[in-house]
Chain A
Amino acid sequence: MHTLYQITDTPLDPERLRAAIADPRSGAVATFIGVARNSFGGKEVLHLEYEAYAPMAELQLREIGTEIAKRWPAVTGVAIAHRVGRVEIGEASVALAVSAPHRGEALAACAHGIERLKATLPVWKKEVFADGSVWRENAGEDFRQRG
């Protein structure tokens, strides 16, 4: 399985992820891009700041890829990149790409990948407002039950 796992402070390049996992057997590439948006709960967000425990995050991305390979053995490639540092509204904060022979596995594995990333990746997000900032926790399952 082709893999690329990246924690970077430079703008993400989804095309590079796609190219890294291209495979002549695979007719499907599913991608997800998480983009910084301009509001949360009706309050305007000026920009985001992400922080990572980089060595653990890289291992965790690899773990997500391994899970995908076990659950969807037909998958031929997984690439996941997360940005750290300041991310402007409209910029990508996370990108995933999965290649597989057919779209069913590619889409399902990609969806699974972003869910697992949001539950387990040791990355923290700060939303910056005009009048302050907040460390935004991911909603959903209790973080302490995961990973």
Chain B
Amino acid sequence: MSGVAQHLVRLFGPAREAAGADSIALELREPATAADALAALAAAHPGLEPLLPRARVAVNFVYVDANTALAPGDEIAILPPVGGG
């Protein structure tokens, strides 16, 4: 059954600063993938666009590939290249 679903996407580091928010609500046509979320983010926040090619997506605290499907209620995060340590 296709339709539209709301997803909350958490942002960190330079992505959070570029968006001016630590999370953004996205409406995505279902079925949606991580790649769809990135594309929708870039469209809604052009300031984020330069960061996205090198960012990773995490769903429910796990790194995922671009073609990973998103389910309602998933916690999605956009993770720029890390700098820990």
Is there contact, CB below 8 Å, between B82 and A120? yes
- Judge whether A124 and B61 touch: CB under 8 Å: no
How many residues belonging to A are interface residues under a CB distance threshold of 8 Å?
30
Q: How many residues of B contact A (CB 8 A)?
A: 20
Q: How far is the CB of A17 from chain B (nearest CB, A)?
A: 15
Contact B10 A135 (CB under 8 A): no
Q: A93 to B83, alpha carbons, bound, how many Å? A: 11
Stretch at the interface among B32-40, B41-49, B73-81: B73-81
Residues 92-135 of A, flagged 1 when their CB comes within 8 A of B and 0 if not, give 01100000000000000000001001111111111000000001
Q: Classify the secondary structure of A's interface with B.
A: mixed
Residues of chain B touching chain A, judged by Cβ–Cβ distance below 8 Å, are: 10, 12-14, 16-17, 54, 56, 58, 61-63, 77, 79-85
